[in-house]
Structure formats: C-alpha cells, structure tokens
C-alpha cells in the first residue's frame, strides 16, 4: 500500500503553505484522503500537481485555467510522464509570449510605455497627445502594440 503524506509533509516538500493546499483542494486542483481522525492524507504524486499549479501560475495561468489543464489528466491513476508531456506541449507559445513580455518590460523601464502618464520627457515624442490611449487601456507599448503612423 502506498504511504500517504500529511499536509505538513506535503507543505514542507512542495514549499506551499498548508492554507494554500487546503484552498487548492477546495478548488478541486488536488485531492486528499481523510484519516480516521479526519486529518488530510495526500498521495505522493500530488507533489507534481502542486508543482504544476505553482509554475502554471508563474507563467500567467489563472486557477480556472490550471483546473482545466489538470482535468485533462487521468483521474483513475497517477499521471505518467507521457501524460505530463502531452499536457505541457501547449505551454510553449504561452511561455514564449511571457518571455517576450518580460523582455519588453526590461527594455522599457526607462522609456515611454504608452500608459498615458506623459511624465517622461521621451513621452512627448513616443506618445504625443497620448495617442496610445486609442489602442486600449494600460501600458500599450509594453503589451507590444504601437499606433499606426
């Protein structure tokens, strides 16, 4: 029989607070069994799901999106390497988009970002009369949009 781990053991090994683990369980992202005393006991493979949740959030997936991704995994058995590989294939473009966004952020920290503040001297040249506002809300140049000339 497989050894089940306590919430403390899962928290320590995953680096995720017990309160977050309970929240993930409430959302249906992970599962536990209850001991006779009502304590949560987790199968060891839940550690991979937790790592998936943490990194999926770091690349910008919402918990609803994470749940939809995890729902693609088999429910009746522990996911295999092939299952995880199939799931992660769709992430490549999302990660590439995030990398491009971070590169724009890094390059544009001291430049006009098209947010509408017009506080930098360069803004009058890069975003005269706040023309970036026509593209939508937020820092349009960081998002990767530029007005057509």
**Averaged pLDDT of the chain:** 87
Model confidence at 135: pLDDT above 50? yes
How far is the C-alpha of 142 from the C-alpha of 72, rounded, in Å?
Answer: 33
Whole-number pLDDT of residue 38:
81
In the chain, CATH 1.10.1660.10 covers 5-89
- At the topology level, CATH places domain 5-89 in Multidrug-efflux Transporter Regulator; Chain: A; Domain 2 (1.10.1660)
Q: What is the pTM of this model?
A: 0.68
Average of per-residue pLDDT across 20-44? 92
Average of per-residue pLDDT across 15-20? 96
pLDDT-derived band at 145, boundaries 50, 70, 90: confident
- DSSP letter string, 17-41: -HHHHHHHHHTTSS--EE-TTS-EE
Ranges 14-28, 34-48, 110-124: which has the least confidence: 110-124
Q: Within 10 A of 125 (CB to CB), how many other CB atoms are there?
A: 9
pLDDT-derived band at 1, boundaries 50, 70, 90: very low
Whole-number pLDDT of residue 149:
60
Whole-number pLDDT of residue 93:
83
Up-side HSE of residue 30: CA atoms within 13 Å toward CB? 29
Tell me: the pLDDT tens digits for 45-98?
899 999 999 988 988 889 999 999 889 888 778 888 898 888 888 788 888 888
Average of per-residue pLDDT across 18-39? 92
């Amino acid at each position: 029989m497989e050894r089940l781990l306590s919430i403390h053991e899962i928290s320590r090994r995953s680096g995720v607070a017990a309160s977050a683990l309970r929240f993930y369980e409430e959302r249906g992202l992970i599962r536990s069994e209850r001991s006779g005393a009502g304590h949560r006991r987790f199968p060891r493979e839940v550690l991979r799901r937790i790592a998936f949740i943490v990194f999926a959030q770091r690349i910008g997936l919402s918990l609803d999106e994470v749940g939809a991704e995890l729902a693609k995994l088999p429910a009746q058995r522990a996911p295999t390497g092939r299952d995880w590989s199939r799931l992660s294939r769709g992430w490549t473009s999302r990660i590439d988009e995030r990398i491009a966004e971070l590169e724009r952020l890094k390059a544009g920290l001291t430049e006009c970002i098209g947010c509408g503040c017009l506080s930098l001297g360069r803004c009058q040249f890069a975003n005269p009369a706040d023309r970036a506002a026509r593209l939508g809300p937020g820092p349009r140049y960081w998002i990767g949009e530029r007005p057509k000339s």
